[in-house]
Amino acid sequence: MKKKSLCIDIYEVEDENELSPDDIKLIHLARKMTFNAYAPYSEFYVGSAILLENGEIVTGSNQENAAYPSGICAERVCVFSASSQYPNVKMKAIAVAARNPRESMNYPISPCGSCRQVLLEFEHKQKEPIKILLTGEYGKVFIITKAEDLTPISFSSDDLKRLLL
């Protein structure tokens, strides 16, 4: 048996003013979008904002449903909306924020597995990294320089191509 280790770099800033103006704007929009979320069951309100290469920003929020599998996360709302509105424009960065009325969220949240897979898919499609900014209602921000780092052992279109050969 051979042991292999995986290592990713996550950058952390305590003060968002250490970030670029574009990153600060994305974080503020993601936090604002938590108020557009429909989350009556979990009360976990998530917002997201994507900066596109053409300078456009697309936003999204999570949308729950009493039939839980029918809901969708803020990240996927945002990515799918950006892809449908601007199909050939690359995604530079996405900010994701969360809010819960029962508990102050001053810590970064992380995308679920499905959202990680979707971010990875679009990163592979555009052949350029998508920077990910993670935060809560306020406080520190985690920065991941590429979606691939969130899904180090992943399934991609390359795997499908190998299966179809």
Check: CB of residue 16 under 8 Å from CB of residue 24. Answer: yes
- SS3 (DSSP) at 95: strand
* Active-site position among 18, 43, 64, 75: 75
Report how far residue 64's alpha carbon sits from residue 42's, in angstroms, rounded to the nearest whole number: 8
Active site (annotated) includes residue 53: no
Q: Dihedral sign for Cα 77, 55, 10, 12, please.
A: negative
Alpha-carbon torsion, ordered 109, 110, 115, 119, to 10 deg: 110
Catalytic residues: 75
